Amino acid sequence: MNQEQIWDAEAAQRYDTPGTGMFSPEVLGPTVDRLAEFSGDGQALEFAIGTGRVAVPLAGRGVSVTGIELSRPMIDQLRTKVDEATIPVIVGDMADAAAPGKYTLVYLVFNTISNLLTQAEQVACFRNAARHLTPGGRFVIELWVPELRKLPPGQQATVWQYEPGYVGLDTYDILRQHVVSHHFTFDESRRAELFRSPHRYIWPAELDLMAQLAGFELESRHADWAGAEFTAESRSHVSVYRLPEVGRAAPPAAPAGSN
């Protein structure tokens, strides 16, 4: 299934969980605080803005936010919260769609860059972010760390979350660097509902190389939006990439084989 088929009207209607999960204040608060800081006095552009989980409260903080989104049903759900004048949205793919103007911040939250299923598309996404940014602007990405260490020989799936009424598991295709996330929800009855989404997982080092190809430098990496230290045990990261200021070129990549 392509992304437009996955994020259909049914998915858009069920996506928002106000006050809980990724919509909870303890998740959204630090996210919006950090992004508002990064945007400064400029404008922010969200790739894959979805239903506005982050964009709406960020705009509520006085930040001028524009979005790019492939799914029209997700945009329709966003429009139940704010109008086009408040948060303009361009319909298109975050790898190549263009938004008018220049921005001090472009951001991608909640693993969304992994929705691009090839390395070439992911590199194109970085280059698209660079095209939209002013000199010194930042591209901020929230992404999970692949949990391949949990896979014993011969096993292809890991359970990454279990709680009453919900089981989340991932199945891996290591050769293609693909993973399919399976979200099972259920109640006391014998029936369960399943939502699946495909992804291409990215190691932090590979993400950094993509950034270099687009002219970015890694400014910081933390384990979460609150600034916790990123370690070998971290399950996710918030990576901040920055374009060089005017008059200062990015350092050239070292030639192959150099130390």
The DSSP-derived string for 158-223 is EEEEEETTEEEEEEEETTTTEEEEEEEEE-SSS-EEEEEEEEE---HHHHHHHHHHTT-EEEEEES
The model's pTM: 0.87
CA distance 16 to 5: 18
Q: Along the 259 residues of the chain, how does pLDDT read in single tens digits?
A: 666 667 777 777 777 777 777 888 999 999 999 999 999 999 999 999 999 999 999 999 999 999 999 999 999 999 999 999 999 999 999 999 999 999 999 999 999 999 999 999 999 999 999 999 999 999 999 999 988 888 878 888 888 888 899 998 888 998 899 998 888 889 888 888 888 888 999 999 999 999 999 999 999 999 999 999 999 999 999 999 999 997 655 544 444 444 3
Closest CA to 63 of 84, 32, 91: 32
Distance CA 157, CA 170 (A): 5
CA distance linking residue 168 with residue 185, whole number of Å: 9
Query: For 257, what's the count of Cα atoms within 13 Å in the CB-facing half-sphere?
Result: 0
Cα–Cα nearest to 13, from 60, 69, 80: 80
Q: What share of the chain is helix, strand, coil (3-state, %, to 5)?
A: 30, 30, 40
Strand partners, 182: 169, 196
Burial class (CB in 10 A: 0-12, 13-18, 19+), 193: exposed
Q: Contact, 211 vs 217, CB < 8 A?
A: yes
Would you state the pLDDT for residue 153? 83
